[in-house]
Each structure stands twice: as structure tokens, then as C-alpha cells.
Amino acid sequence: MTAFRLLESINSPADLRRLDRKLLPQLANELRAFLIESVSQTGGHLSSNLGTVELSIALHSVFNTPEDRIVWDVGHQCYAHKVLTGRRQGMNRLRMQDGVSGFPKRSESPYDTFGVGHSSTSISAALGMALAAKQKGEDRKAIAIIGDGAMSAGMAFEALNNAGVADADMLVILNDNEMSISPPVGALNNILTRLTSSKTYNAARTAGRHMLGFAPPLLELARRAEEHVKGMIAPGTLFEEFGFHYYGPIDGHDLDALIPTLQNLRAIKGPKFLHVITKKGQGYKLAEADPILYHGVAKFAPEEGIKSGKSGGKLTYTQVFGDWLCDMAKADSRLVGITPAMREGSGLLRFSTEHPDRYYDVGIAEQHAVTFAAGLACEGLKPVVAIYSTFLQRAYDQLIHDVALQNLPVIFAVDRGGLVGADGPTHHGTFDLSFATCIPNMVVMAPSDEAECRRMLSTAYALDCPSLVRYPRGGGNGTLPGLDLDTLPLGKGEIRRQGKSVALLAFGSLLPAALAAGEAIDATVVNMRFVKPIDAELIAELAGNHSLLVSLEENAVIGGAGSEVERVLAERGLQVPVLRLGLPDHFIEHGEQGQLLAELGLDKDGIIASVRQALTRAAAS
């Protein structure tokens, strides 16, 4: 392990604030080296965290944390913040069970003022904190740090709109790491930002407004003149219109620019907006060259970098979807692919290059993505929305109101269904079967292997109604799909093993565990395939010759597929008991997928134990 002399002396922001400011660049170098070394051994988000090292140091140097509230947007850039707030020694168990979370988490530290994991929430949360401080008469600051990608979500602009009229004493920092809305940054911009954030400048501006207040037309003229002059040197006019005082852009890696500017802004009341430019992967040339590849990493050797190639050569569900999308696009020119800023994660990279005219990345805007798809469907196209389960939650109203209510044929390819592992409760896809099945007009499917996933996607595409195919993170059983576009019979399951007394009804990813358990206890095993329409005839048949039905799903047990099984039995007056096995009524923490499933009783041994307990209770009653 590399020696980090300065870093090891920092156990809290109070230690940081006592450090000679001349030493902060050395601290930044040590912190960046520590992150590279640490994340290479645990896996996690790398590029985004390397880009916020100086910003994290500057924030904790200037503001009195945790009394002053810092809210990170998304939170995948918070590792430096965690190290500086007393969690350095715990970083060797980052994202591991019972270890440090990969995102800010209120129960983990008082410095994590708001739990995050999804994007574009920081301004709303910080506004709430700022107005709470005002109402309680407390003199503390609220700071939101939001990336330029997260600014594409409507929620961020809703919060800006509210914050400006509320005259909240808060600071929004735009961490711009893509140069997408900014001119080049240089010494002139740094000087101008420090000037416009100074007490002298702001006192003059306040005095001028007071004097011109007696002549409203002159005040309006002066205000617009100021905005447009500033607009020639910085893209701040938009934020000024929201009621914020805009400052920047400024180099986010220059501590000599960052710290004085933040000190100036800390003394200014009201809503303020600071635009900083950072570079993803800063300080690690491989990550700088390919920040997307190094965004989320598994373990790797820093001196060698990430080796290309598929992990273990195993085909993933995401790759199955990406290949199917390209094949279906060749067969039908009506197909369009949509992603809310998850091209690589959702498997659309190949599609985006082969069919650029039919590929739409709408940015981090899940609500817009769904209603945009509805609009396309209204005009006879066949939109496929590729989205993570946990992100589809953000567009639930649009799913119901804009798609299902109008019975539009939008296909939802829902990735990361079930437990995702190290990213934890903000990213587990634990509710989709529950929240989709209750919506009228929806067809809901869950494949048990890769080949079945491809056929379900084709089935969904052939329907003239909304449909959802939900598949897990990673690979399945290694079942290689063919190149055909065959479909499945709608709403029909299949018996995979004939046994006695007990029937295991598996929905999706838990079929392998069900088959293994079925062999051990001689149970019938059914691959249900469809949650809606569920195979009611098959359930009734099983109820007629089994004494116990067991539903299995990697989804919340409340309102999930097991509830559908019980509904079918109740509607038909069948009195067979149902044991519903799934995810319990609490949020599942981060950890390795297999270990989490075992602890929740959803592996072979857990299923066997639950079935035997149920049979014992039945015999005793």
C-alpha cells in the first residue's frame, strides 16, 4: 500500500480546515492516487470520482460541514468526500456487504446529508434544507453539486424555478465534465468569476439596484444589460432568469480559483449558481482517454488498466437485448430505440452505430423518454425503451397515463430486474413486477434464460399493446439464443419437471434454483414466463394435483407474481395453499448478488427449507 502522509492525517473535515492551504495541492495528489489504488481493488465508480477531488477538498475546506449541508447529485462522485469525512479505512470494503456504500447514505455518516443514487434530486433537497434553516432561524448553508448530465432532467429545472422565487440562501454548483454547454476555460474566466463573486462587486450591484429601484424601467434596463454582458463571457443568462446569481465557468481542478470563489460565495445571501469545469478521470491518463470505460469498473491493475473483452466470455442479458434490437431493426423499419442516457449500460451501442437515424438518447429524462415513445407510437412507429428497472420507477405516471391508458404498443426492455449487487438499494430492481402488473393493458414477461429473453422481446414486439420484458443484471444459464425472431404463445407457462405434492412456480431468474430444489424434494417445477397475462389454466391444473403451490420471484413479494397466483385461485374457488417466496418488505442493502439471494432464502437450500417448514406447519394444523 502506498504511503499517503498528508491524507492519513485527515480523519475529518476539521483536520482538513486546519491544514496549511499551500499543502492542499499535495493532498489532492495523494487523494487521487488513493482512489485509483483503492477502487482498483474493490471496483466501483472511478472516472467521476477522479474528477471531483479538488472540488471535494475545496467544499470541506470552506464550509463548516456537517453543519453546512452538502448534497451530491446521483452520488457516484462522492468517494473523495467519503475519504475526507472519516471513512478512508473503510474504503477497502467499498460496496461490499456491511461495508461502505458506493453512494451517500444518511445512516452511514452525518456528512451524507441526503441519500441519493438517482439523478437530478440535489437542488430540490438542498432547497428544502435551505428553507428549513430559514424557518428555524439557523445560520447554515446548503450546497447542491449537480453534473451537467443531471441538468437534462426536468426535476432539476423544477427545483431551480422554485428556488429562484423562494429567494433561498443556497448554492448550486454545476459540475460540468463534458464541456457540452461551456466555452473553453482559462485565466480570464477564473479572474472574472472571482471578481463577480467578490464583496465589492456584489455590494455595488446591490446599491445600484437600490438606487434604480426608484425608476423601474431603468432597473430593468440595467438588469438586462448586466445579463447580456455576462452572457458574452459565460452561459449564465438562463440561470439568471431563474433568479440565481450566476458565477463561472471556473476551473474545477484549480484550488487557487475554487477556494477564494467559494469563500466569497459563502458570504453572499440568496440563490447562487457556480459553474465549474472538471474532467472525468482527471489524473489517470487511461481514464481521461476513455472516461466511459472507467466510469464503473471491476477490479483491475492500475498500471495495466482495464483489459478488453467479455467478462469470462459469458453472454449477458444486456448483450442479448442489444443483438435482438439490431436484428429486429433490420427486419422492421418501424423500430426505434430510446434510452435515457444509458447507451452502454442498456446495450444500445451497436444499435446507435448501425441505425443512428433510429436511435434516440434523450438524456437523463426518464419521464420524457416514456412520453416521447408514446408520441412515436401514435404515429405508427414501434418504440423500444431500454431502461433499468430502478429508473423506470421515475416515469411511473407516464407509463400509466401516456402509454397504458392509450393502449399504445411501446416495448419496455427493463434491465437490472431483481438484485443488482454492489450498487445497493438505490439500484435494485425490486418493484417492477408489482408496479407493472397492476396496470391495465400491460403484458409483463420475465425470462429464465438468454434464449427465452430473445423470444420474449420478439413476442412483445408483435403485440399491439404496451409490454414489458424484465431481465436481470449479468448472464443467465449460458443458453445461447439463436438468430431467429420467433415468438412465444401469449400467457403460457411450461412444466420443466414433473414431481409430486409440491409445485414450484418460478417467474424468471429463479428458475435454476427452483429446478435444483425440485430435484432434491421431488417437486414439480414450472417456468411461468408470464406474470400478466398469467397462465390461469396451468395454475388451476397444478392446484388440482398438488397440495402446495410455491411462487418464486426476484421481486417484492407484496403485490408481485405470487399475488397473481393467489388471485387466480381465489377467483376459481380453489383452496390450495400458496407459499410466496420473494424479496421481503424492506430495502435490501448492497452486497454480492448470490450472497444476498442466499441470505434471503432464494437459493436452492433456502427454497428447500421454506417448503419443508410450510409442509410441517400444514401437517401440524
Q: Quote the CA–CA distance of 337 and 359 in Å, as a whole number.
A: 5
Q: Quote the CA–CA distance of 511 and 449 in Å, as a whole number.
A: 9
Q: Cell numbers of 260, please?
A: 477564494
For residues 234 and 249, the answer to whether their CB atoms sit within 8 Å is yes
- Burial letters 255-268, b for 16+ CB under 10 A, else e: bebbbbbbebbbeb
Catalytic positions, written as ranges = 280, 366, 394
Query: Which residue in 38, 32, 81 sits closest to 61, CA to CA?
Result: 81
Name residue, grid cell 429486429. Answer: 328
Query: Which residue in 254, 282, 278, 284 sits closest to 37, CA to CA?
Result: 284
- Burial letters 467-500, b for 16+ CB under 10 A, else e: bbbbbbbbbbeebebeeebeebeebebeebbebe
Q: Given CA atoms 603, 606, 612, 614 in this order, what sign does their dihedral have?
A: negative
Query: Which residue in 113, 445, 67 sits closest to 266, CA to CA?
Result: 67
Q: Cell numbers of 337, please?
A: 430505440
Q: Quote the CA–CA distance of 506 and 527 in Å, as a whole number.
A: 5
In angstroms, the first-to-last Cα distance of the chain is 61
Q: Quote the CA–CA distance of 356 and 337 in Å, as a whole number.
A: 10
DSSP H or E run through 34? helix 24-42
Q: Are strands 296-297 and 44-45 parallel, antiparallel or unpaired?
A: antiparallel
Q: Cell numbers of 595, please?
A: 450472497
